[in-house]
Amino acid sequence: MKKILGIDVGATGIKGAIVDTTAGKMITERIKLATPKGGKPHDMIQTMQALIKEHNWEGKPIGVGFPAVILQNKVMTASNIDDTWIGKDIVKLIKKETGNPNVVVNDADAAGMAEITFGLGKNKPGTVILLTLGTGIGSALFNNGILMQNTELGHLKFKGGAAEKKVSNSARVSKELDWKSYGKALGEYLDHVNFLFSPTLILLGGGISKKFKNYGKYFPEHLNVVPASMQNNAGIIGAAMSYEALS
């Protein structure tokens, strides 16, 4: 059994658990800490450090899913975190502040890796897309099981703005949309994604995937959309798997 601490960094919460990466399972209860206000680099890494301490994981390998485009260890975007992240070598920063060897990938790509390896995306031919609905919308795009990294489908232009500002879970809450209005708007966005990529399957992740039956019934019928099977744990499991795959 290979054990890695998986950390799923979100704009609202930073979650972690020790993962058996061979089985694709968390072997400890997941711990969630609040993301520090402002989402600044040092503060966020301090929260990761707190998770490392909680797990007695000093000096040991960690895999991190982070809510930004990550290219060659650098943070390239900052939609829901502080702008000072942009251009920072996050792998170096985490190593310097915590001492832990680490690998960092986009958070939705991490969740997608877990779903395509152990969840409903397993052995699915053609294109499979995972969309995570949270503060933003993250995406992981696979073709015949191969990930195309950093796709950012949450930033597709939709109804005059970025899709994540219209149909993420936080948009639903701030616009006080009822399930029907939300389901219809989200369905329209999913239909657009479906038209562009002709996926075999679209998986919906994020905490709101648990409430799928409230809004999924308003999606256009021709869409093949289901809630992701690993729900909110996919991000932690996939982050740990990324360490295995990329370190």
Smaller CB separation from ligand BGC, 154 or 183 = 154
Whether the CA torsion 139, 132, 18, 52 is positive or negative: it is: positive
- Give the one residue of 21, 35, 47, 79 binding ligand BGC; rule: CB under 6 A: 79
x/- track of binding to ligand BGC for residues 104-143 (CB under 6 A)? --xxx-----------------------x-x-x-x-----
Smaller CB separation from ligand BGC, 57 or 202 = 202
Paired tokens of 125: 């031919």
Q: How many residues bind ligand BGC (CB under 6 A)?
A: 16
37 contact partners, CB below 8 Å, separation of at least 6: none
Smaller CB separation from ligand BGC, 57 or 185 = 185
164 near ligand BGC (CB under 6 A): yes
Which residue stretch of 27-35, 61-69, 120-128, 176-184 sits at the interface with ligand BGC (rule: CB under 6 A)? 61-69
Distance CA 68, CA 40 (A): 13
Strand partners, 105: 65
Distance CA 4, CA 67 (A): 20
101 contact partners, CB below 8 Å, separation of at least 6: 60, 61, 62, 95, 247
Residues that bind ligand BGC (CB under 6 A): 67-69, 77, 79-80, 106-108, 132, 134, 136, 138, 152, 154, 164
